[in-house]
Amino acid sequence: MCAADQGRLPHTATGSLRHHDTDSLYISVPFLVTIGHVTMAAAEKYKDKLVRTANAIVAEGRGLLAADESIGSIEKRFKKVNMENNDENRRSWRDVLFTAPGELEKYLGGIITFEETLMKHKASDGTPLVKVIKDRGIIPGIKTDKGTVELPGTDGETTTQGLDGLLQRSQDYYKQGARFAKWYFSFLAGQSLTKALHF
């Protein structure tokens, strides 16, 4: 149940835990939030639109397609099929996904995209991929974080990058057609690592 059902500004968050080694846990938490303007006054102005978006992407029988692999992450997938990780192959792969025959819109409420997909990639017929998504009745979303880096002085603990410039990027993503966003972070927790974690 999302907050939109209770009339509040919509947001959803999901998390997972798995063992990383014998004394620590690897915690990954992808956050999905609707995006527009960031001030509370602006949020009130766009409240109804945000609520509609939140309800639409979690409508009954529908889910999200995460097609937001970073350049580094998608390389791992391409290597398995001996495909070079270049801009054209990434564009072509997303083109295949978003133009696949069948009733995608019947099962997908939203598609999370990577920045290059949202901002510049086009289908083989020249149609921007973000328009392909929208024309199928699916809501485009965007991955807003910039990946993780190791924190100096820790035993492999990481922090997520991407807060710098997030406001401007979010506004640009919105103008391009994105109506919700994903922010992903992960961290290690164990006896030799972080003692307390606060959200």
Residue with the two structure tokens 């959803």:
12
pLDDT at 16 over 50: no
92-125 per-position pLDDT tens digit:
999 999 999 999 999 999 999 999 999 999 999 9
35-72 per-position pLDDT tens digit:
444 455 666 778 888 899 999 998 999 999 999 999 99
In order of 9, 35, 37, 126, the CA distances from 122 in angstroms are: 32, 23, 27, 5
Per-residue pLDDT at 14: 40
Of 119 and 31, the structure prediction assigns the larger pLDDT to 119
- What Rg do the C-alpha atoms of the chain give, in angstroms? 18
Cα–Cα nearest to 4, from 32, 30, 28, 29: 32
Strands (E), 84-129: 108-113
Angle CA 171–172–176, to nearest 5: 115
pLDDT band per the 50, 70, 90 thresholds, residue 20: very low
With a CB cutoff of 8 Å and minimum separation 6, the contacts of 158 are 148, 149, 150, 151, 186, 187, 188
In a domain, 197, yes or no: no
In a domain, 196, yes or no: no
Categorise residue 163: left if φ over 0, alpha if ψ from -120 to 50, beta otherwise.
alpha
Angle CA 168–117–81, to nearest 5: 140
In a domain, 97, yes or no: yes
In a domain, 198, yes or no: no
Rounded (10°) angle between helices 87-98 and 71-80 = 80
H helix or E strand, kind and range, residue 90:
helix 87-98
136-180 per-position pLDDT tens digit:
999 999 999 998 888 887 777 788 899 999 999 999 999 999 999
Domain extent at residue 126: 3-190
In a domain, 67, yes or no: yes
pTM: 0.74
Amino acid at 121: H
In a domain, 164, yes or no: yes
The total number of structural domains in the chain stands at 1
In a domain, 74, yes or no: yes
Per-residue pLDDT at 152: 82
In a domain, 52, yes or no: yes
How far apart (Å, rounded) are the C-alpha atoms in residues 155 and 152? 9
CATH number of the domain enclosing 52: 3.20.20.70
